[in-house]
Amino acid sequence: MANINAIVIPTSSVAKTKATADLNNAVADAKQAIDQDTNLTPDQKQAAKEQIDQDAKQAQEIIDQATTDGAVKDAVDNGQLTIAKDVAKAAIDNAAAGKKAAINAAGLTDAQKAALNSEVDSLAQQAKNAINQALTDSAVTTALNDGIAAINAVVIPASENGAGDTQNGAATGTTTGTAQSAGQLAGAQLPGQGNTANRKATLPQTGNDNNRLAIAGLAAASLLGLFGLGKRDRKKN
């Protein structure tokens, strides 16, 4: 293996051509995943896509400068991992936006809404920090799933008119189920997913409060299927 990695390759090579193609595919798939984050505004989606382009450009520059097959592989792997983190962080923003929409639609006082929204923001930032610190694909997936679950678990108290939180106790399960079924169709599984061969993947209706947060799971599913999370686990010494 050391001998293979030490082979010097020219500026243009089969390895670099394949790495560039893999990187471009990752970019296209990532942007498709961002488009599924229906709680994000157009500006938020555009910002996420621009970050993906920036990270891909940096990865491509490293690929172009690589002089061995091993360096090319490291460059594309690192680039794909960074892009996967971009998708995961957008999914966290999507989950947070969905939860905050439910909070703001509830019959609560301004003070209650402010406190709950602040809690959601804090959980979202914690999740993004965990994603940024992840060193492997599986760690990104874990941080993403944990972050969405924490956001979904924020309890919206019943309003004075007796209308309770339609998402309390159901959001986490709905989101995970959506991510699992879509992830299974993409050829990947969430950690601990088990057999989902009989699940039917359906897109949640955005007008339904119970399904608003489920949309956040679609990005998680896309992340799994498009980047092969769970199949490719990189190790750093």
- State phi, psi for 194 to the nearest 5 degrees: 75, -160
Q: Give pLDDT, residue 195.
A: 32
Whether 121 has a pLDDT exceeding 90, the answer reads: yes
Rg (CA), the chain: 20
Residue 166 covered by a domain = yes
pLDDT higher than threshold 80 for residue 171: no
Q: Is residue 217 a part of any domain in this protein?
A: yes
Query: Would you say residue 117 has pLDDT above 70?
Result: yes
Q: Which residue has the higher pLDDT, 223 or 89?
A: 89
pLDDT for the residue 2:
60
pLDDT at 224: 53
Supply 85's token pair.
């983190």
Q: Are 143 and 222 in contact (CB under 8 A)?
A: no
Greater confidence (228 vs 52) lies with 52
Q: What is the mean pLDDT of the chain?
A: 75
Q: Extract the tokens encoding 4.
A: 């293979």
Is 70 exceeded by the pLDDT of residue 116? yes
Percent of the chain residues past pLDDT 70, beyond the cut: 62
What single-letter DSSP state applies at residue 229? T
Give the side-chain half-sphere CA count within 13 A for 92: 28
pLDDT of residue 132: 97
Range of the domain at 23: 13-227
Reported confidence tier of residue 158, pLDDT bands at 50, 70, 90: confident
pLDDT tens, position by position, 174-210: 333 333 322 332 333 333 333 323 322 222 323 334 3
- Three-state DSSP string of 104-153: HHCCCCHHHHHHHHHHHHHHHHHHHHHHHHCCCHHHHHHHHHHHHHHHHC
The confidence band for 7, taking pLDDT boundaries of 50, 70 and 90, is low
| pLDDT at residue 115, rounded to an integer | 97
Helix (H, G, I), strand (E, B) or coil at 180: helix
Per-residue pLDDT at 226:
53
Distance of CA 231 to the CA centre of its chain: 16
pLDDT digits (tens, 9 = 90+) for 13-55: 899 999 999 999 999 999 999 999 999 999 999 999 999 999 9
Number of domains composing the chain: 1
Per the domain annotation, does 235 fall within a domain? no
Residue 187, classified by CB atoms within 10 Å of its CB into exposed (0-12), middle (13-18) or buried (19+), is exposed
Q: What are phi and psi of 8, to 5 degrees?
A: -85, 130
Indicate whether 161 belongs to any domain.
yes
Q: Are 142 and 184 in contact (CB under 8 A)?
A: no
User: Looking at the domain assignment, is residue 77 inside a domain?
Assistant: yes
* 52: enclosing H helix or E strand: helix 42-65
Residue 151 included in any domain: yes
Does residue 236 lie within any of the structural domains?
no
